[in-house]
Amino acid sequence: MLDKLRKVKDRYDELSALLSDPEVIGNQDRFRELAREQSGLQEIVQGYEQYARVLDHIGQNNDIIREEDDAELIAMAKEELAGLEDERDALTESLRVLMIPKDKNDDKNVMLEIRAGTGGEEAALFGGDLLRMYTRYAERHSFGVEAMSSNVTGLGGVKEIILLITGTGAYSRLKYESGVHRVQRVPDTESGGRIHTSAATVAVLPEVEEVEVDIAPGDLRIDVYRSSGHGGQSVNTTDSAVRITHIPTGIVVSCQDEKSQIKNKAKAMKVLASRLYDRLSAEAMSEVSENRKSQVGSGDRSERIRTYNFPQNRVTDHRINMTLYKLEAFLDGDMDELIDALILEERQKKLTEEI
């Protein structure tokens, strides 16, 4: 591990020199990229420097115990050595965790998509519950939320919505939400009191910058049409809605929330870039990792990951067999206890793979 830590420190020092280079400072894209890389290494370097100081003090105390004749001095050295060895062991474990390869998307913003599944209007209403849950979670973490595209029902349900959630670490917290979310409850329309089961699908994609995905203009078919559905002025009166088809992959993105065709197109392009990046990343991962789907954060959207049971006031995450009996609070955005458990599970799996 020491060899790996020294290499990290060397890279950190190299980045410090590069960030002082006038040529790099003049290239803002390059500067941001290097600054982001250095920021990601800072905690490891600080831990390594502290670790090196502790090892040095351990060596000094061992020298005293081995070479000195003063019994009092030797006793003091032994007493201090015990504490230093405990600190060394704690730092070793901490550095092992920090040295786990970091997901390069962790600090990115998030494109979060909610789609109602089986269950008709009840599924759409559940989609609305999930929308509120993620919006409240974002508020708790001071993340920004912007609707990129939406298709809502007259009863307040959500057939489909795409949110842009912005803030440092947004993806690192929300990436575990991809999958099928199932709800069990008695709908308001059910006179017999029977419990119904419906579902919604959530997809979490990292927002990407233009330089990360090459989208050739010739690969796009752009259609404009009049907005439809619930809305105020300008809905159904102008051709402001935009549909973009990426011909090579068949990915289709529509946006009609803005009154301006230009703004709708810009939002649609952001969503398209994220979906293309997600597809390319998934293809690359499948080529190098056979166990991708076994990982907690695999993002497999066909997997049923969580059940929200209203009669029992519980939410259960099936990936880690964790159940919380605080459904109302969870749907109000109090999700950190479960998300922290998912992060810990992923970390432990990666540590096991490293051994």
| Adjacency order of strands within the sheet including 196-206 | 144-152, 158-166, 110-116, 196-206, 179-185, 304-309, 314-317, 322-324
With a cut of 50, say whether residue 288 has pLDDT above it: no
Q: What is the mean pLDDT of the chain?
A: 85
What digits encode the pLDDT tens for the residues 110-145?
999 999 987 778 899 999 999 999 999 999 999 999
pTM of the model: 0.70
Fold held by 213-286: Double Stranded RNA Binding Domain (3.30.160)
Q: Name the least confident of 58-62, 190-194, 234-238.
A: 234-238
Query: Where does the chain show beta strands of DSSP type E?
Result: 110-116, 144-152, 158-166, 179-185, 196-206, 220-225, 241-246, 251-255, 304-309, 314-317, 322-324
CATH placement of domain 110-211+292-352:
3.30.70.1660
**How far, in Å, CA of 229 to CA of 70, rounded?**
87
Comparing 110-211+292-352 with 213-286, is the CATH topology the same?
Answer: no
Q: State residue 18's pLDDT score.
A: 93
d(CA 65, CA 192): 80
84-111 burial, b at 16+ Cβ within 10 Å, e below that, comes to: beebeeebeeebeebbeeeeebebbbbb
* pLDDT > 50? residue 293: no
pLDDT at site 291: 41
Q: Where are the domains of the chain?
A: 2-98, 110-211+292-352, 213-286
Between CA 355 and CA 353 the distance in angstroms is 6
Asked if residue 21 lies in contact with residue 112, where contact means CB atoms within 8 angstroms, the answer is no
Mean pLDDT of the region 52-81: 92
Residue 289 has pLDDT above 70, yes or no: no
The per-residue pLDDT for 185 is 92
Residue 162's nearest CA partner among 116, 204, 230, 112 is 112
pLDDT given for residue 317 in this prediction: 97
DSSP states of 14-25 as a string?
HHHHHTT-HHHH
Q: Select the highest-mean-pLDDT range: 58-72, 217-231, 308-322.
A: 308-322
User: Which pLDDT belongs to residue 286?
Assistant: 59
**38-to-18, 206, 270 alpha-carbon distances in Å:** 10, 20, 27
Q: Length of the chain, please?
A: 355
Assess whether pLDDT exceeds 50 at residue 92. yes
